[in-house]
Structure 1
Amino acid sequence: MTTENLEPSRRRGRARTATTEVKLPEQKPFKQPRMRYAPTKVLSDDELESIHHASLRILSDYGMDFLDPDARNLLQKAGAKIEDQRVRFDPEMVLETIKTCPSEFKLHARNPAHTLNVGGDWMAFGSVASTPNFIGLDGIRHPGTRQDFKNSSS
């Protein structure tokens, strides 16, 4: 065994990159965009009215299932018809409730500078991929699965 070639190699691998500072691109400050142009009109007024009346009929004739008994109780007190887990809504109830909804509202962030305006000419972007955590009917929380996501959206 010889001791002649004990000079450090030129490549240092991780040791070199651990001390190298990575410069990230400068990020612009948060600013919520606004729509500068009128929305594209995809449906005629008659088509939109037809969809609206169909949705009222579906809520009245077929209803929706609500698994949470507290939610069913609140809806019943508000005038909805309850049958087991199925809740049916009179069209008048839906229309009166819609009248109480604001045309704009704020989603308050932990950092007030990042609070989002929703509605009006404000634009808000977000992504939703799946349920990262899931609480089943048994009340136990566990990591979400594709099956949980399918079950919650069907």
Structure 2
Amino acid sequence: MRRGARTSQREVRKAIRNAESALNQLAPQVLDNPYPPLCPLTSDQLEEIHNASIIVLESLGIEVTSDRVRTLFRSLGGSVDETTQIVRIDGETIMALIDKAPHHFSLTPRNPANQLLIGGRRINCGLVSGPPNVHDRINGRRPGNFLDYQSLIKLGQTFNVINFFGNQSIAPTDLPANTRHLDTY
């Protein structure tokens, strides 16, 4: 009987310690931006950028290294130079494609309860992806390594406001560059 009481007291003390050290967080919730979007450019400036991009796509073209994507552009009426892999496409086709683009879409992971709505007024928070350096108050700024990568992932998983992770929260420069993107999965 005494042993059971001791275990119970031990569990109570452990629960109190854990509760005291736990991070106080709000309950997970969907975040929507209540404010109108910021637009640092005037409508004339946006139109100027848009027109310049159409000129680039029509006249200069873009290099497309994917055979599949070049075939897709060709099927849409684009001019494809297979030697240089340059694709040119007219402005009307571009505008028709832009008009078909959805205003929002969903990303659904293995657990559908964690589905993310992208677009509209929805706010999704994630870790930055791919910086080569990390900084902490003990070791200062330095090239990131696999241990730093693991620590940042754990930190991100601690906060319930983090909705998603990109490819790499830090580039683990101690891993081979040609496989590090695979080694972190």
Q: TM-score, normalised by structure 1?
A: 0.66
After TM superposition, give the deviation of residue 124 of structure 1 in Å. Answer: 2.0
Structure 2 equivalent of residue 32 of structure 1: 30
In structure 1, what residue type is equivalent to 2:179? H
| SS of residue matched to 1:48 | helix
Q: d(CA) in 2 for partners of 1:86 and 1:103?
A: 29
Structure 2 equivalent of residue 76 of structure 1: 74
Gaps of 5+ in 1: 1-18, 133-140, 145-154
In structure 2, relative to structure 1, the CA distance for the partners of 1:43 and 1:52 (3 Å cut) is: same
Among residues 22, 34, 42, which one is paired with 2:40 in the alignment? Answer: 42
After TM superposition, give the deviation of residue 57 of structure 1 in Å. Answer: 0.8
**In terms of Rg, which structure is larger?**
1
Structure 2 equivalent of residue 91 of structure 1: 91
Q: d(CA) in 1 for partners of 2:110 and 2:27?
A: 16
Structure 1 equivalent of residue 115 of structure 2: 115
In structure 2, what residue type is equivalent to 1:142? T
Structure 2 equivalent of residue 58 of structure 1: 56
Q: d(CA) in 2 for partners of 1:105 and 1:29?
A: 24
Tell me which protein shows more helix as a share of its residues. 2
Q: d(CA) in 1 for partners of 2:48 and 2:61?
A: 18
| SS of residue matched to 1:75 | helix
In structure 1, what residue type is equivalent to 2:129? V
Among residues 136, 142, 150, which one is paired with 2:179 in the alignment? Answer: 142
After TM superposition, give the deviation of residue 92 of structure 1 in Å. Answer: 0.6
| SS of residue matched to 1:110 | coil
After TM superposition, give the deviation of residue 113 of structure 1 in Å. Answer: 2.2
Superposed CA RMSD in Å reads: 2.4
Gaps of 5+ in 2: 1-13, 132-166, 169-177
Matched, 1:129 2:130: yes
Q: Deviations over 1:100-127 (max 9, x none)?
A: 1111111112222221111111112332
Q: d(CA) in 2 for partners of 1:108 and 1:27?
A: 25
| SS of residue matched to 1:36 | coil
Which consecutive segments of 4 or more residues in structure 1 shift more than 6 A? none
Residue 56 of structure 1 contacts residue 91 of structure 1 at CA under 8 Å; is this kept in 2? yes
In structure 2, relative to structure 1, the CA distance for the partners of 1:31 and 1:110 (3 Å cut) is: farther
Identity %: 28
Q: Deviations over 1:29-76 (max 9, x none)?
A: 432311111122211111111111111111111111111112111111
In structure 2, what residue type is equivalent to 1:64? I
Q: d(CA) in 1 for partners of 2:73 and 2:87?
A: 8
Q: How many residue pairs get matched?
A: 118
In structure 1, what residue type is equivalent to 2:64? F
In structure 1, what residue type is equivalent to 2:105? F
